[in-house]
Structure 1
């Protein structure tokens, strides 16, 4: 089964005039034809609202949640994912008005020619809205081009074309040349700022150096490649006055001074502008990796306590019946049951006492803004992991649990040859993971959501969404727990080493050199994970690389979930890792990964992974890599040859990795750092 979500593209009437710096949505002709598809996981982490999705013929930007509402209204019942633990965290960040987690508007089809769900999809806008003709290099706004999308089963054929294109070999002296229709491609240059705005590049003002063309009010422009001499990149030329200017001048800090000094505050995904923006725009290319960073929260669904069950039912009543209706009939449980039945809510197994508790929970007034902001400022993302860690510490609950949450775990025996530092092994036979998208940033990824709340780009025009997109994935995995006493003793030694001091200094340099303004308000030392996290993270990566060769899944399909934090006054310490695979279909539960938890297979796998980690084809450069001023990279003895994993697998973008914490490796300066697993086996 392939999870696809057709995109709705907003097109524009090519006959109307267009201000090259204004939003091209002023002259809108809506086209509801499908132009592409993507899996829900891609829409969550790669191509969500505000991101740019590069299609075969052009590029689109998924619209904000306001534009999703008409899509949802095509169905009588809007599906929702009920998970109070995650919803409470989202409310803390976005406000108490958030009442639901919704899946993406998609419906499975019986076959490729079926029409089920043809009216559903993710609305999107064409962006960038300046295109370049591939036949004659003409550069112009969207209305100057024609759109075709006529084949119902070939959305990849949708494209913009330049009618009457003369080509690059036009004859001179007035002789007629043959006219043709050439495809157009997006112009790659954009402006963005640290407040999350993105805008078209002002090509007309750029080529005329901030002034108007002396020959025409709306001059025709050309974008030519000029990879000779110092004109690296594209060259913009005005066909009326002959002015030319290279895009290379806009690059770097010197080029930034030549760009507009004020940001227009444009949000193309919302078709809106902010009233003011105090950030300076900078040049960015359409395919740049720092153009869009998703901010997500995720949890593993676990068996609920009675209080959590009541909260979940309260959320469901509030969502389906409405607060006013629940309040009106709060004292009449029979009426509540009848109305819930009309909404397909099964309350037959819910006692009156539990229903009363759920009703009271549904009517609980929201926290004040001051309380919510205080809670958000004090919140740590680790809080989402603590319940999962605590549950995995209680193997007595595993056999007696009801598999209503999609979680099935088994406490496994330790193999006699498994390293003694690994104290427990748990097979996660089945699991369900819920992921929610709550916003995004540009230029700089947020280490934590509460770095600076204003940096999180809004998903609706008023900035107060009543729901957020979410996915529900199923999978399997293996949980390994390290000896907490051994980890704590080892960590206390690492804190005193020069290597840890070097990593601390590199983290501070990295933090203060970031584009965003978050460094002014945040202590960088609080953003550096403890040595045990580096240890667990490195171990996770070497195991993922080893497991991929025998579990039946590709390395990019395996993901990690690290439980690594020192003890504090309000929570116990943790040292464990979960390697899992999750997907929104059966691909996530093939059984090949959990089969590796059998003692004979696991002990051989761990031994092989540690032996491979002892050597890297880039050694000794890799093994002795330590950041020194002015270097600010956030890893040590780790590289693509030995430790790095794909971006779909790593939760920290290949940061905070060092094989010297895993194994005792030779050092170029002084005594080596003691590896947690000791000296490598060089057999």
Structure 2
């Protein structure tokens, strides 16, 4: 990871593998963290310094192909409107270049002389972060930053905070004094952080800086700054700025989109055709395609005309071009992508019919699935091999990606690019599907509908509050079917984390819920040592799955926070949960697709007053 140069070099890399500039290195992170934790626009602490990860405008030049290879996932690329994806470069001692970062925040304090000012006023040597007046004492980056829900980020306005009651009406400019920051040590609260100035104004603490209207009351508005984008002009912004801790998770949250590689795109042929799609789409007859392939793949018999024709036909059926660019249109495209995966998970893809290059192997278990009939669970599918591509589409600040509309998403680059950073992971999993007729009968219950309607109302209110355009607020996905499947996936992951030896953070859910889908995939798609070991597929055998479901439901019937948990009218972010907490139904954030909202274990096991609300009530009382 390297900070940007102070000025541009006259020479460019010319496509060579060597770095273009001799830039200093500042720490290292895992590749997967560049998508999920330290992506573009995020703040990263390295020793006693703080940086913001730069945008990807020039990354295609600085990232060499041998260290940042191209990733292909045709279906996801079409939905996101890009040609391909790039894996972030390796950050090892031997790597030739890395991800560029920029120093942020720019306001620092010196713990020795207690001076608080812009870093340039400390006059540190190039590449260093020290106070020259205090024998090179390391400076401390500001603990506080200012952000808004449109993704803008700026330094905290210390001068305005200190002088808020000591400026003449209409006065402009600074007081000319030297600001300082000290800690009284009386407590660990913001009241102990004292800001002062030599101009003689009374000292003030940072207490109250995190109130929602604290900065607005001072007349501070969002300046529309985007420090992660070099040369980006300030944008006009009407959002209210908020004070945040520099290390808070609210400062940066990724907007991730993912897709499974499924037939006919999962055998590697689509990767070979990545540079030829535009030409192939222009041909309408089989003869034209055959002539083109003979010229483009001379001597390569692995690219057959029939396979290419099948891919082109599949692409036409999946073409998202007719959808609009609104939030509703984007949601429809992602839902269509999920529906294709659901159909393939239901039909399967046997190993005996495919070669070694196949990235998706899905088979039914050999044993009798009738043991699952009392649970209303159909025949499970064992996904023995899968590949998932997770792309960083954008990011949000303050508003979480689940409840924020696309209008709040901050871009990764100043100008549109034809690629996005992504990671490729492989694993295994189990696909579970519930009986749709039994689901529909259960969902018709007045009590069930009432519980879910309250969650849906709270969620839609949260969506309206955070929407850029109230006229285009996306509908809440909360339905009895969705909440039931979501909660069931959570309790099953918790059960398998105890029984299969996998940590809950190494398991992920993938929900397939709408009027035509009723299933979920639990899988281990992770790039670390808890990857594909066969343990999850083994849990999908009907006998073991039935035992796990029975145990998971018994655990869900009682929570250590009961009776408060089971009787909760609303809980979680924005009241979008009912009976769900970290002691019973919630998972690590990396495992849940919906940020631990839209959960209610009462829909699984019922309530003490009305057990019939639970879909599996008969299992517990039988």
Give the TM-score, by structure 2 length. Answer: 0.84
Aligned residue among 22, 26, 33 for 1:42: 33
| Helix, strand or coil at the partner of 2:539 | helix
Give the distance between the partners of 1:378 and 1:616, measured in 2 at CA.
35
Q: Which residue of 1 aligns with 2:106?
A: 129
| Helix, strand or coil at the partner of 2:275 | helix
Q: Determine if the alignment matches structure 1 residue 651 to structure 2 residue 593.
A: yes
Q: Which residue of 2 aligns with 1:99?
A: 83
| Helix, strand or coil at the partner of 1:589 | coil
| Helix, strand or coil at the partner of 1:387 | helix
| Helix, strand or coil at the partner of 2:575 | coil
Moved more, 545-554 or 269-278: 269-278
Q: Which residue of 1 aligns with 2:221?
A: 262
Q: Which residue of 2 aligns with 1:409?
A: 362
Give the distance between the partners of 1:282 and 1:662, measured in 2 at CA.
39
Q: Is the 1:71–1:105 Cα contact (8 Å) retained in structure 2? A: no
Q: Which residue of 2 aligns with 1:660?
A: 602
Moved more, 415-424 or 59-68: 415-424
Q: Is the 2:268–2:358 Cα contact (8 Å) retained in structure 1? A: no
Q: Deviations over 1:580-627 (max 9, x none)?
A: 111235641122222222344333222211111111111111111113
Q: Determine if the alignment matches structure 1 residue 284 to structure 2 residue 276.
A: no
| Helix, strand or coil at the partner of 2:445 | helix
How far 1:322 sits from its partner (Å)? 12
Unaligned runs of 5+ in 2: 8-20
How far 1:519 sits from its partner (Å)? 6.6
Q: Which residue of 2 aligns with 1:155?
A: none
Q: Determine if the alignment matches structure 1 residue 79 to structure 2 residue 38.
A: no
How far 1:347 sits from its partner (Å)? 4.2
Map 1:461-472 to 2 at 5 A: 461-462=414-415, 464-472=416-424
Alpha carbons of structure 1 residues 461 and 416: separation in structure 2 relative to 1, 3 Å = closer
Aligned residue among 3, 7, 11 for 1:9: 3
How far 1:528 sits from its partner (Å)? 3.6
Q: Is the 1:410–1:427 Cα contact (8 Å) retained in structure 2? A: yes
Q: Which residue of 2 aligns with 1:376?
A: 329
Q: Determine if the alignment matches structure 1 residue 555 to structure 2 residue 510.
A: no
Q: Which residue of 2 aligns with 1:544?
A: 493
Q: Which residue of 1 aligns with 2:183?
A: 225
How far 1:33 sits from its partner (Å)? 2.8
Q: Which residue of 2 aligns with 1:423?
A: 378
Give the distance between the partners of 1:142 and 1:129, measured in 2 at CA.
6
Alpha carbons of structure 1 residues 378 and 203: separation in structure 2 relative to 1, 3 Å = closer
Aligned residue among 449, 471, 483 for 1:521: 471
Q: Which residue of 2 aligns with 1:591?
A: 534
Give the TM-score, by structure 1 length. Answer: 0.77
Q: Which residue of 1 aligns with 2:258?
A: 298
How far 1:390 sits from its partner (Å)? 0.4
How far 1:163 sits from its partner (Å)? 3.2
Moved more, 118-127 or 492-501: 492-501
Q: Which residue of 1 aligns with 2:14?
A: none
Q: Is the 2:550–2:619 Cα contact (8 Å) retained in structure 1? A: no
Aligned residues: 595
Q: Determine if the alignment matches structure 1 residue 201 to structure 2 residue 191.
A: no
Q: Determine if the alignment matches structure 1 residue 90 to structure 2 residue 80.
A: yes
Give the distance between the partners of 1:238 and 1:287, measured in 2 at CA.
26
| Helix, strand or coil at the partner of 1:527 | coil
| Helix, strand or coil at the partner of 1:536 | helix
Moved more, 370-379 or 242-251: 370-379
Q: Which residue of 1 aligns with 2:453?
A: 501
Q: Which residue of 2 aligns with 1:602?
A: 545
Aligned residue among 366, 375, 388 for 2:341: 388
How far 1:252 sits from its partner (Å)? 1.7
Q: Determine if the alignment matches structure 1 residue 615 to structure 2 residue 558.
A: yes
Q: Which residue of 1 aligns with 2:523?
A: 580
Q: Deviations over 1:349-389 (max 9, x none)?
A: 224676699899999xx998996569836725322211111
Q: Which residue of 2 aligns with 1:163?
A: 132
Give the distance between the partners of 2:47 and 2:137, measured in 1 at CA.
15
How far 1:62 sits from its partner (Å)? 1.2
Alpha carbons of structure 1 residues 498 and 672: separation in structure 2 relative to 1, 3 Å = farther
Q: Deviations over 1:97-141 (max 9, x none)?
A: x3221111228x7xxxx62xx213111112112122233332222
Alpha carbons of structure 1 residues 575 and 334: separation in structure 2 relative to 1, 3 Å = closer
Give the distance between the partners of 1:290 and 1:332, measured in 2 at CA.
51
Aligned CA RMSD, in angstroms, stands at: 3.9
